Chain A
C-alpha cells in the first residue's frame, strides 16, 4: 500500500454532520468525545476522592479525635486510595490518550472506536458500582492494597470487600481493552512519515503505558479472581490454616502494583516532555534517550515489586535483589529530569500556566523521587514503611508528579479541545495555590512519619507529639481543595467567554496543533505527511502540512457510525460481575447471557453502513 496518499472514501456530507444531544453522546464512538467523557468523569471523581481526603484530614486534625468512627474512617481512606488511583489518575491519563494521541500521530480515530466506547462505559459503570457501596453502608474498608487475609470472609464478612474485589475486576477489564486499543492505534494508525522515533513524547509514553496496562492488569485480575473464589466459593488461596499463603497476595498485588505506579506517572512525564520544549522553543534534549529511559522504566518496573514488601520477611537475598533493582530504576528517572532541564537550558522560556506546572513537576517530583531512594534501602524502609513518611513520599510522586503533569496538560491542550484559552491570570493563581497547598499538606507528613505515626490510622495518641504536623497537613489539604475549585471556575469561565485560541496558540511543534481548534470530527481532511519530530517548526514542512490539515475537504472522510452496543455490553459486563455478589453460581450467567446478546449485536453491526437517505 502506498504511504503517500490515504484514501478518503466519499460519502454524502449531510449524513455526517456532528449530531448533538444526549443520545449522540451515549452512542458516540468518536475518540474526542470519549476523551471528554473520560475527563469529566475523572474530574468528578477527583472531587469525590478529594472530599474523602478532607474528611480524613479533619479526623486527624487533633489526637484521639472522635469526629468520625474508626469504621467510617477505614472506609474513607480505602475509597480515597482506590478512587484516586483507579477512578481519577488512570482515567485522567486515558482521557488524554483518547483526545490527544490520534491527533498527535495524524489519525482519524483510534483503531477500535467501539471498543473505546466500551472501555469508557465499563469504567463509568464500574466506578458507579464501586461507589454504590457508600449508599448501602458497606464501602470497601481494607485499604487500596487489600492485603490478604484481612480480606477473607472470616475477617471481613460484610459486603465491603465484595464491592472492592468485583469493582476492581470490572475496572481492570476496561483498562486492558484500552491498552489493546492504544497499542494498535499507535502501531497502525500513524500518518505517513510518522516513524516511531518521530512520535511526540506523549504518544511514546502512552505506548509504553499501554503495554504496561495490557501486561500488568491481568496479574491483578488473577489476584482478584483468587480472592473472589476464596470469598464466594471457600477456596484456600490465602487461607494460612489450609496451607495458603497470605503473602502470595502481596506478591501478586505488587507485581501489578509497581508497574501501575509507572502506568500512572509515565503519561505525566509524556505531557511535560511535550510542554517543556514547546515553551522553551527548543526541541526536547536527547529525544532518543528520553524515549529509551521511558521504555527502560517500563521494563525495570517489572522487577522491583518486592520493595513494597521489605517488612514481609523475604530474607536477605531477596531483599538485596530488590534493593539493587529499585536503585537502578532511579537512574533512568534521573536521566529524564536532567534531559528536561537541558531542554530548558539555552531556551527562551515562556512561563505560561502549562509550563509552570511542568516546571513544578520537575522540582517537586524530584523530592518524591529522592525520598523514594531513602526507602529503596531495605533497612531504612523497615522504619519508614507504612508510616506517614511513605504517605508523604507517594503523594509527592502522585500529586507532585502525576497531578501537576495532568494540570499542565489541561492548560496546554484545553484550547485544542474547546477552541478557547483558559485564563492565564486565574491559571497562575491556581498554580501557586496548588503548590502552596500541596507542600503544606504533604511536607509535614515526612515529620509525622519520622516521629512514628503509622499510616492508615484512624487516630493517634497525643503522646506521639505529632499534632502540629497533622494540623498543618489539614490546613494545607483544605487550601489544596480550594485551589482545585479555581481550575473548575477557570474552565467554566473560559468555556463561556474565553479568548479564542486559533489552531496553534502556543506555536507548538507537534501535529495536533496543525488542525483547527476544536478539530473536525474526522480530525484530518487528508492525512499529512510528516518529515521530522517537530513538523510545525520547519517552515516548509509546516506549510505543506497545514495545506492539507486546515482545508475544508471536498468530500468528508468516512467515519464509523454511532453505536449503542458498547453501552449494552458494558452494562451486561457490570451486571455479570455484580451478580457474583449473590454467591449463587448461576446468577452471573444471567448477566453473561445479556452480555452475549450485546456481543452478537455488536459483531453483526456494520459500523460503516450508510444510513438511508432522507
Chain B
C-alpha cells in the first residue's frame, strides 16, 4: 500500500503537469478557453479526491496496524454504531460534493453557451474520416485537417453521415458526439451537437474519433491547424479557388509548404518530383495525365475544387499536397504513402469504403472501377494529388 501511495504522488505530478509536446493528444494540456475551463475543474476535483483518498488510506492503514489480533487481544468491545459519526461522515462528503458540484454546473452552462459572432464549421463524421465544411464561406469543403483561426470563437456543428462518431481533439477541449441527423417532420428543427472554443495558441493538434464506429474506429484520426487570421484567410481563399487547370501550375509553383507540411522530410523520389514540377515552364504532362486518370477513375467519389466537384461521398482532395497526413491522420503525406493507400486502402484501414486492389468482402460489395490501373498509373495519380498545393 505504501508503494501504491508513492505511485499516487507521481500520478499527482504527472497528471497535472504533462507537457503537450511529448503527448500530442494529451487531455491535460489545454490550448483553448474550453479546454482551460475543463482543466481547471479537473485540477480542483483531482485534489479533493486525493484528500479523500489520503484520509481513507491513512485511517485504514492505522486500523490495520493497530487493531490486528494479538495473542493477548481481549474480546473487542461490541459496538453497534454511533449516530453522531454516521451523521458526520454523511455531511462531510456531502459538503465536498457541493463544493465540486457548484463549479461543475457553472462550467456545464458556460461551455455550452453559444458565443456571438463565432466562425461556424460543420463537422461531419464518416466511416472512417472527417469532413469539414465552412458554411459561412461558400460551403467550401475539406477533409481530415481542420483549419481554424487563433483568437476567434469557433463553433463546430457536429453530425454524422452514418453511425455515431465523437469529435475529440483533447488539447482543444472535450469531446462531443457526432450523431446521425435524425429526420424530423416538416416544420421542426434538426438537432445538431455543438462544440464552442476560442483557440489561444497556434499549432497543429491531434485528435481522433472517440465513439466506437466500426472496424477502423481506431484509425479515424484528424489534425486541427490553428493559425493566424491571415494564414487562415489565405488558406480558405486557396481552398475556394481550388486547382482549375489553367492555374494549377502557378499554384504549385507558388506554394509555400505550411508549417504542417512534411514535404521537407520526404524521401528522394517525391522531392525530385516536386522539383521537376517547379522547373517546368508549362504544365507537366505527367501531372495532366494524373489529372485525367483521376477524372476517369476517382472523381465519382472524390472532388477537387476547380477540377471536378461531382464526387461528394469521399474526402475532398483540394490542397491535398499541403496536408501533413493522409487516410484520416494515419499515414504521413508523401507520394509513397499515397501509392500505398490508393493501391490497397483495406490494408491500411480495414472496412474503409474506398475499395482497393486487395478488396475482400465488407461494404460496399463493389469492385474498384480502377482495378485495371497499372502500378505506374497509380503512382502518376499519387504524384498529381501530391502536387495539389
Residues in A lying within 8 Å of B, measured CB to CB = 69-71, 74, 142-143, 147, 149-150, 155, 157, 240-247, 280-283, 285-289, 311-313, 315-316, 319-320, 323-324, 327-328, 330-331, 334-335, 337-339, 341-342, 344-351, 359, 362-363, 366-367, 370-371, 373-374, 376-387, 389, 439, 443, 446-447, 449-461, 463-466
B100 at the interface (CB under 8 A from A): yes
* Cross-chain contact A464 with B23 (CB below 8 angstroms): yes
0/1 string, B45-66, CB within 8 A of A gives 1: 1101100110011011001100
* Cross-chain contact B27 with A450 (CB below 8 angstroms): yes
What residues on A are CB-neighbors of B210 within 8 Å?
Answer: 311, 385-387, 454
- Considering only residues 86-128 of chain B, those with a C-beta below 8 Å from chain A are 86, 89-90, 93-94, 97, 100-101, 104-105, 107-109, 111-112, 127
Q: Contacts A386-B210, A466-B23 known; list 18 others, CB within 8 Å.
A: A155-B162, A281-B69, A311-B177, A319-B108, A327-B101, A330-B93, A331-B90, A348-B74, A373-B49, A377-B104, A379-B37, A380-B41, A387-B210, A450-B26, A452-B168, A452-B206, A453-B25, A456-B218
* Cross-chain contact B63 with A451 (CB below 8 angstroms): no
Of B11, B14, B38, B70, the contact of A380 (CB 8 Å cutoff): B38
* Cross-chain contact A286 with B86 (CB below 8 angstroms): yes
* Cross-chain contact A451 with B67 (CB below 8 angstroms): no
* Cross-chain contact A244 with B4 (CB below 8 angstroms): no
Smallest Cβ-Cβ distance to B94: which chain A residue: A331
What residues on A are CB-neighbors of B73 within 8 Å?
Answer: 348
Smallest Cβ-Cβ distance to B56: which chain A residue: A366
B176 at the interface (CB under 8 A from A): yes
Query: Given that A240-B181, A327-B97, A451-B23 are contacting pairs, would A382 and B173 also be in contact in the complex, using a CB cutoff of 8 Å?
Result: yes
Smallest Cβ-Cβ distance to B159: which chain A residue: A240
* Cross-chain contact B163 with A150 (CB below 8 angstroms): yes
* Cross-chain contact A374 with B25 (CB below 8 angstroms): no
* Cross-chain contact A379 with B108 (CB below 8 angstroms): yes
* Cross-chain contact B75 with A382 (CB below 8 angstroms): no
A569 to B79, CA, bound (A): 50
What residues on A are CB-neighbors of B46 within 8 Å?
Answer: 374
What residues on A are CB-neighbors of B78 within 8 Å?
Answer: 282-283
B189 at the interface (CB under 8 A from A): no
B22 at the interface (CB under 8 A from A): yes
Of B25, B67, B216, the contact of A347 (CB 8 Å cutoff): B67
* Cross-chain contact B42 with A348 (CB below 8 angstroms): no
* Cross-chain contact B208 with A454 (CB below 8 angstroms): yes
What residues on B are CB-neighbors of A452 within 8 Å?
Answer: 23-27, 168, 170, 206, 208
What residues on A are CB-neighbors of B24 within 8 Å?
Answer: 452, 463-465
In the complex, 9 of the A-B residue pairs with CB atoms within 8 angstroms, ordered by the A residue number, are A243-B183, A283-B78, A312-B177, A346-B67, A348-B67, A386-B166, A454-B209, A456-B212, A459-B219
- Considering only residues 176-197 of chain B, those with a C-beta below 8 Å from chain A are 176-177, 179-185, 191, 193-194
Smallest Cβ-Cβ distance to A279: which chain B residue: B69
* Cross-chain contact A465 with B182 (CB below 8 angstroms): no
* Cross-chain contact A323 with B101 (CB below 8 angstroms): yes
* Cross-chain contact A283 with B80 (CB below 8 angstroms): yes
A464 to B68, CA, bound (A): 46
Residues in B lying within 8 Å of A, measured CB to CB = 1, 4, 7, 11, 14-15, 18, 22-28, 37-38, 41-42, 45-46, 48-49, 52-53, 56-57, 59-60, 63-64, 67-70, 73-82, 85-86, 89-90, 93-94, 97, 100-101, 104-105, 107-109, 111-112, 127, 158, 162-164, 166, 168, 170, 173-177, 179-185, 191, 193-194, 206, 208-219, 221, 329-330, 350-351, 363
* Cross-chain contact B56 with A287 (CB below 8 angstroms): no
Query: Given that A351-B68, A362-B60 are contacting pairs, would A246 and B164 also be in contact in the complex, using a CB cutoff of 8 Å?
Result: yes
Closest chain-B Cβ to A281's Cβ sits at a distance in Å of 5
* Cross-chain contact A285 with B214 (CB below 8 angstroms): no
What residues on B are CB-neighbors of A386 within 8 Å?
Answer: 166, 175, 210-212
What residues on A are CB-neighbors of B176 within 8 Å?
Answer: 311, 313, 382
Query: Given that A341-B60, A464-B25 are contacting pairs, would A149 and B177 also be in contact in the complex, using a CB cutoff of 8 Å?
Result: no
What is the total of A-B residue contacts with beta carbons within 8 Å? Answer: 301
What residues on A are CB-neighbors of B107 within 8 Å?
Answer: 377-379
* Cross-chain contact B183 with A465 (CB below 8 angstroms): no
What residues on A are CB-neighbors of B193 within 8 Å?
Answer: 312-313
What residues on B are CB-neighbors of A330 within 8 Å?
Answer: 93, 97
* Cross-chain contact B41 with A379 (CB below 8 angstroms): yes
Smallest Cβ-Cβ distance to A250: which chain B residue: B164
* Cross-chain contact A349 with B64 (CB below 8 angstroms): yes
What residues on B are CB-neighbors of A362 within 8 Å?
Answer: 56, 60
Smallest Cβ-Cβ distance to B38: which chain A residue: A379
What residues on A are CB-neighbors of B162 within 8 Å?
Answer: 155
What residues on A are CB-neighbors of B194 within 8 Å?
Answer: 313
A373 to B60, CA, bound (A): 20
A459 to B220, CA, bound (A): 11
What residues on B are CB-neighbors of A335 within 8 Å?
Answer: 86, 89-90, 93
Of B57, B174, B218, the contact of A363 (CB 8 Å cutoff): B57
What residues on B are CB-neighbors of A458 within 8 Å?
Answer: 216-219
What residues on B are CB-neighbors of A327 within 8 Å?
Answer: 97, 100-101
A324 to B90, CA, bound (A): 16
What residues on B are CB-neighbors of A359 within 8 Å?
Answer: 60, 64
What residues on B are CB-neighbors of A455 within 8 Å?
Answer: 212
Query: Given that A370-B53, A377-B104, A464-B25 are contacting pairs, would A313 and B177 also be in contact in the complex, using a CB cutoff of 8 Å?
Result: yes
* Cross-chain contact B108 with A344 (CB below 8 angstroms): no
A344 to B173, CA, bound (A): 44
* Cross-chain contact A282 with B79 (CB below 8 angstroms): yes
* Cross-chain contact A387 with B27 (CB below 8 angstroms): yes
Query: Given that A243-B185, A287-B81, A379-B37 are contacting pairs, would A312 and B208 also be in contact in the complex, using a CB cutoff of 8 Å?
Result: no
What residues on A are CB-neighbors of B89 within 8 Å?
Answer: 334-335, 338
* Cross-chain contact A155 with B111 (CB below 8 angstroms): no
* Cross-chain contact B81 with A147 (CB below 8 angstroms): no
Question: Counting chain B CB atoms within 10 Å of each CB, which of A245, A456, A457 scores highest?
Answer: A457
A554 to B242, CA, bound (A): 98
Closest chain-A Cβ to B299's Cβ sits at a distance in Å of 26
Of A70, A350, A363, the contact of B69 (CB 8 Å cutoff): A350
Closest chain-A Cβ to B159's Cβ sits at a distance in Å of 9
Query: Given that A281-B75, A370-B52, A465-B23 are contacting pairs, would A456 and B217 also be in contact in the complex, using a CB cutoff of 8 Å?
Result: yes
What residues on A are CB-neighbors of B59 within 8 Å?
Answer: 341
* Cross-chain contact A287 with B49 (CB below 8 angstroms): no
Smallest Cβ-Cβ distance to A337: which chain B residue: B56
A377 to B38, CA, bound (A): 9
* Cross-chain contact A454 with B168 (CB below 8 angstroms): yes
* Cross-chain contact A383 with B79 (CB below 8 angstroms): no
Question: Counting chain A CB atoms within 10 Å of each CB, which of B53, B111, B182, B351 scores highest?
Answer: B182
Of B42, B82, B179, the contact of A383 (CB 8 Å cutoff): B42
Closest chain-B Cβ to A526's Cβ sits at a distance in Å of 28
Closest chain-B Cβ to A431's Cβ sits at a distance in Å of 13
A285 to B26, CA, bound (A): 44
Of B48, B108, B185, the contact of A323 (CB 8 Å cutoff): B108
What residues on A are CB-neighbors of B94 within 8 Å?
Answer: 331
A-B pairs, top 5 by smallest CB distance, nearest first, are A382-B174, A452-B25, A457-B218, A313-B193, A286-B81
What residues on A are CB-neighbors of B221 within 8 Å?
Answer: 461
* Cross-chain contact A382 with B175 (CB below 8 angstroms): yes
A74 to B213, CA, bound (A): 10
Of B22, B41, B127, the contact of A465 (CB 8 Å cutoff): B22
* Cross-chain contact B26 with A374 (CB below 8 angstroms): no
A334 to B64, CA, bound (A): 19
Query: Given that A378-B108, A386-B210, A452-B23 are contacting pairs, would A157 and B363 also be in contact in the complex, using a CB cutoff of 8 Å?
Result: yes
* Cross-chain contact B93 with A281 (CB below 8 angstroms): no
Smallest Cβ-Cβ distance to B168: which chain A residue: A454
What residues on A are CB-neighbors of B100 within 8 Å?
Answer: 327, 373, 376-377
* Cross-chain contact B45 with A380 (CB below 8 angstroms): yes
Closest chain-A Cβ to B332's Cβ sits at a distance in Å of 10
Query: Given that A379-B104, A460-B218 are contacting pairs, would A311 and B175 also be in contact in the complex, using a CB cutoff of 8 Å?
Result: yes
Query: Given that A335-B89, A344-B63, A377-B41 are contacting pairs, would A285 and B112 also be in contact in the complex, using a CB cutoff of 8 Å?
Result: no
Question: Counting chain B CB atoms within 10 Å of each CB, which of A324, A348, A377, A384 scores highest?
Answer: A377
